[in-house]
Amino acid sequence: MQTDTPQTPAPPMLELSRVVKSFGPVVALRSGSLQLDSGSIHALVGENGAGKSTLVKIVAGLYRRDAGEFRLRGEDVDFTSTAQSKAAGIAVIYQEPTLFPDLTVTENIFMGRQPVNRFGRIDRKAMRREAEELFQRLGVRIDPERPAEGLSIADQQVIEIAKAVSLDARVLIMDEPTAALSGVEVDRLFAVARSLRDEGRALLFISHRFDEIFALCDTVTVMRDGAYVATTPIAETTVDEMVRQMVGRDVTELFPKTEAEIGEPLLEVEGLTRTGVFHDITFSVRSGEIVGLAGLVGAGRSEVARAVFGVDPYESGSVRLGGRTLPRNRPDRAISAGIALVPEDRRKEGLVLESSVARNLSLVIRNQLAKAGIITNGAENRAARVWASRLEVKTNALSTVAGTLSGGNQQKVVLGKWLATEPTVLIIDEPTRGIDVGTKAEVHRLLSELAGKGMGILMISSELPEVLGMADRVLVMREGRITAEIDRSDATSENVMFAATHAAAQTPGAHS
């Protein structure tokens, strides 16, 4: 076991400054800085895509930084694997821990480093004793002999924390640990976190919930667009100040939104409910209108889109298109009625990656392309050529395997395959995620143009600037419900972000 850290003007436990990380042409982290002190709980906040997870992954040894400084207890470090990061005393507790379900709690804690007795056999007694001590220290009651299977997420997190403590991790990073927890469980987690802080460890707490940040943390660092914005003691900041730091930038210029004539309602969703996922979702999309659906990741936006399209079930409510009710669980009927869904995960849901560009572009319209039930490569290629050239997909041949294209070109193929169906309503989930800036602008221009021609567009986006720049109307979801509907003229980063994150509107005085 490691003993006390050097006293007096000790260097910070962990220090990152001006860290850069890019993936091909996409810069995920422009200038990330973070400082964690022992005996303190630090919050890290920012919009989706602000670079928080990239920063955490660099600390965890999953990514290697391209540039910048990374020091641990004043010494330069450069992790090339998660094992190195763990050995250096860093532990990351993820939102949903991955335990071995068939092993006991104790075995999970000591996986891969079980204590052995002098015969070289696993010393179960010692292992169990140590597990009990750990739980006592953390002040929680979990039976160390029960299997991990069936434990609540909260208990699983505690086990991950116990594992970290048994490894004597000096730095604990918790990535949105409370997202799946109930109120009581959150309180217990916070009690554990405070006792770890009082033992002199450094904690990093990533969360979108401001009330929790104010209740638990000592300092907060705000990130935006892959860069450090500010670090402030929690007592010296406010929710409004933090929101302003998270979103503060000029958002209108990037997006070539043209005014379109807004007509009759096309898509009408009423009271859509799926227990535990989304609740009482009511909205409409009119002809020529781009409706932005904003909110944090996990708020239930994509789930609503999938239910409307029919690939996911729902329990009650109705979906109507042009006044006609659509049956549930029937994507084919939604398609023939005129709905198109450009899904969130284009590599898994949007494209048949191992198939050619031509086959992908013609897949949804294969029935229309068939003459007397017979479809030929020629017919597919003709249809595919139209959409490949209209969207300027960068490839030489239509037989190119879709999976070999760049992200932006893959997205164009997905868009093309859906526009080929000539939809009246286009649902597009994260239209520009992971694609380069140039293609991003092309996609935005295309969406504007389609709306101008009378298409109704429901655009789900985690990028606030995109929502504010493109949408005629913004719907905000939080935890499975629509919490706000804001007109284009009234929508600001602040009020959208507020509706997406703030529980205070319903539970006043949550943070004291």
Summarize as ranges the residues that interact with other proteins (CB under 8 A).
Answer: 311, 331-332, 334-335, 341, 343, 348-355, 358-359, 362-364, 366-367, 369-370, 373-377, 381, 385, 388-389, 392-401, 404, 417, 438-439, 442
The candidate with the shortest Cα–Cα distance to 468, out of 449, 444, 435, 450, is 444
Closest distance of CB 333 from other proteins, Å: 9
Cβ neighbours for 410, distance < 8 A, ≥ 6 positions apart: 346, 347, 350, 351, 402, 403
Closest distance of CB 192 from other proteins, Å: 38
Closest distance of CB 353 from other proteins, Å: 7
Measured from the CB atom, the residue of 187 and 422 that comes closer to other proteins is 422
In the block, tokens 């860093």 appear at 90
CB 475 within 8 A of CB 293: yes
What are the two backbone dihedrals, phi and then psi, of residue 285, each rounded to the nearest 5 degrees?
A: -125, 125
CB 90 within 8 A of CB 175: no
d(CA 44, CA 33): 11
CB 269 within 8 A of CB 284: yes
At CA 497, angle to CA 491 and CA 503, rounded to 5?
Answer: 125
The candidate with the shortest Cα–Cα distance to 445, out of 290, 338, 270, is 290
Amino acid residing at 184: V
Angstrom distances, CA of residue 511 to CA of 66, 220, 320, 507: 39, 15, 41, 9
Pairing state between β 265-274 and 278-286: antiparallel
Closest distance of CB 464 from other proteins, Å: 26
Measured from the CB atom, the residue of 140 and 435 that comes closer to other proteins is 435
Measured from the CB atom, the residue of 336 and 507 that comes closer to other proteins is 336
Measured from the CB atom, the residue of 66 and 132 that comes closer to other proteins is 66
Measured from the CB atom, the residue of 87 and 397 that comes closer to other proteins is 397
Contacts 24+ apart (CB under 8 A), 378-385: 383/420, 384/357, 384/358, 384/359, 384/416
Closest distance of CB 200 from other proteins, Å: 41
d(CA 361, CA 420): 8
Measured from the CB atom, the residue of 349 and 479 that comes closer to other proteins is 349
Measured from the CB atom, the residue of 239 and 386 that comes closer to other proteins is 386
Cβ neighbours for 498, distance < 8 A, ≥ 6 positions apart: 239, 243, 505
Structure tokens at 451: 């709306």
Closest distance of CB 404 from other proteins, Å: 6
Closest distance of CB 437 from other proteins, Å: 12
3 state SS for 99-150: CCCCCEHHHHHCCCCCCECCCCCECHHHHHHHHHHHHHHHCCCCCCCCECCC
Cβ neighbours for 471, distance < 8 A, ≥ 6 positions apart: 290, 291, 292, 459, 488, 491
d(CA 235, CA 336): 56
Closest distance of CB 173 from other proteins, Å: 30
Cβ neighbours for 133, distance < 8 A, ≥ 6 positions apart: none
Amino acid residing at 428: I
Measured from the CB atom, the residue of 204 and 342 that comes closer to other proteins is 342
Pairing state between β 67-72 and 14-23: antiparallel
Measured from the CB atom, the residue of 10 and 397 that comes closer to other proteins is 397
Structure tokens at 399: 């037989």
Closest distance of CB 343 from other proteins, Å: 6
Amino acid residing at 80: T
Question: CB 506: neighbour CB atoms within 10 A?
Answer: 10
> Which stretches of 207-323 are assigned E, i.e. beta strand?
219-224, 227-233, 265-274, 278-286, 290-295, 316-321
Q: 3-class SS at 438?
A: helix
Closest distance of CB 364 from other proteins, Å: 5
Q: 3-class SS at 496?
A: helix
Closest distance of CB 102 from other proteins, Å: 20
Measured from the CB atom, the residue of 83 and 397 that comes closer to other proteins is 397
Measured from the CB atom, the residue of 184 and 374 that comes closer to other proteins is 374
Measured from the CB atom, the residue of 129 and 445 that comes closer to other proteins is 445
Closest distance of CB 461 from other proteins, Å: 19
Measured from the CB atom, the residue of 241 and 349 that comes closer to other proteins is 349
Closest distance of CB 313 from other proteins, Å: 13
